[in-house]
Amino acid sequence: MAETQGATVDRVRLAPFGDALGFLLRLAQIDSFERFFADLGHLDLRPGELTVIVLLEGNPGVRQGVLAEALKIKRAHMAKMVRALGEAGLIRREVPEDDRRAVELYLTEAGATLARRLRPAVTAHEARTPATLTPAETATLKRLLRKYLALTDPEGTTP
């Protein structure tokens, strides 16, 4: 009864996962996700939808398959998301003349308005350094993650 939580015998030996990169990445991603939605959860958008809306602002007319590839989500999933966003009146889908299989995505007026509302919140969130890291350490962490991903371009363009 001395212990108020997590109590009992514990301390779990996490070996051989305690120092595994994949495990650390998973915990870090959970934490980062929680931080993200602590900041932005009040807008009732799902994570994927928020990402698509904000990215469409900088990529008008992008093909949904291309966007899916950049975000590492499956085309089937993107199709569902795009339909939902279309039904919500946030995006518009256009079939280009030169390839009538494809679909190009654009924000509607409502979507653009939402994107403008979202962007500052997203930017503010990202400017914040995690409490446990110095700004220099955060920069190093990001640089190493980009190198790990072979994503050398810090400008935000996929190769």
Partner DNA sequence: TATTGTTATACTCTATAACTATA
Partner DNA sequence: TATAGTTATAGAGTATAACAATA
68 near 79, Cβ under 8 Å? no
Phi, psi of 138 (to 5 degrees): -60, -45
Q: Is 147 in the site for DNA (CB under 7 A)?
A: no
Rg (CA), the chain: 20
- With CA atoms as reference, report the closest residue to 104 among 139, 74, 59, 71: 59
- The neighbour count for residue 129, using CB atoms within 10 Å, is 13
Distance CA 86, CA 80 (A): 10
Distance CA 37, CA 54 (A): 15
CB of 151 to DNA, least distance (A): 17
Distance CA 159, CA 145 (A): 16
Identify the residue among 77, 142, 143, 146 touching DNA (CB under 7 A). Answer: 77
- Residues from 21 through 80 that contact its own copies (CB under 8 A): 21-22, 24-33, 35-36, 51, 54-55, 58-59, 62-63, 66-67, 69-70, 72
Identify the residue among 18, 38, 80, 95 touching its own copies (CB under 8 A). Answer: 18
Kindly indicate which of the ranges 78-86, 123-131, 133-141, 144-152 contains the residues binding DNA, using the contact rule CB under 7 A. Answer: 78-86
CB of 111 to DNA, least distance (A): 16
Closer by beta carbon to its own copies, 33 or else 77: 33
Q: Is 106 in the site for its own copies (CB under 8 A)?
A: no
Q: Is 48 in the site for DNA (CB under 7 A)?
A: yes
| Contact residues for DNA, defined by CB under 7 A | 4-5, 7-8, 30, 46-49, 63-66, 72-83, 93, 98-103
